[in-house]
Amino acid sequence: MKSRDSLIRLKRFHVEERRRRLAQIEAMIGEFARMAADLDREIALEEQRAGISDPSHFAYPTYARAARSRRDNLLRSSGELRDQLEEAKAHLDEALADLNKITSLEGREKASERGHEPPDHGAVIADFDLRAARA
């Protein structure tokens, strides 16, 4: 019984760990998207200020070129995180399935233990006395 309880606690810990990891990845994707949008605005402002929007132009602003590179790296990293997010969701589903399997086994075992409890002899005798008193 004790080992089963510790196994359930372990499985619950794994589920919570997977949920935390999932939330962390989702937060990072959101943060990267926000940072990429900020860089897009800065790039547009710099291009507008310089009057040059073609990155291959020789006078294209260095800051805009660096910000463009940074934005592209963020978008690439965000794509990789999306792949990790799908993997983390699969791991969470597996952990939930394991937890559900263990808890359902425990529930069935507890139910069978209740069904196989030795009869309460005091209750049987009291029931017999009631029947005898009625007759």
Q: From residue 29, how far is each of 19, 22, 42, 80, 82 by CA, in Å?
A: 15, 11, 20, 9, 7
What digits encode the pLDDT tens for the residues 68-104?
Answer: 999 999 999 999 999 999 999 999 999 999 999 988 8
57 secondary structure, DSSP code: S
Binning pLDDT at 50, 70 and 90, where does residue 129 land?
very low
Radius of gyration of the chain (CA): 32
pLDDT of residue 1: 56
The DSSP-derived string for 59-85 is T--HHHHHHHHHHHHHHHHHHHHHHHH
Burial class (CB in 10 A: 0-12, 13-18, 19+), 131: exposed
Q: How far from chain centre, in Å, is Cα 24?
A: 9
What digits encode the pLDDT tens for the residues 47-63?
Answer: 999 999 999 999 999 99
Kindly report the pTM of this predicted structure: 0.71
pLDDT of residue 103: 86
Number of DSSP helices (H) and strands (E) in the chain, helices first: 3, 0
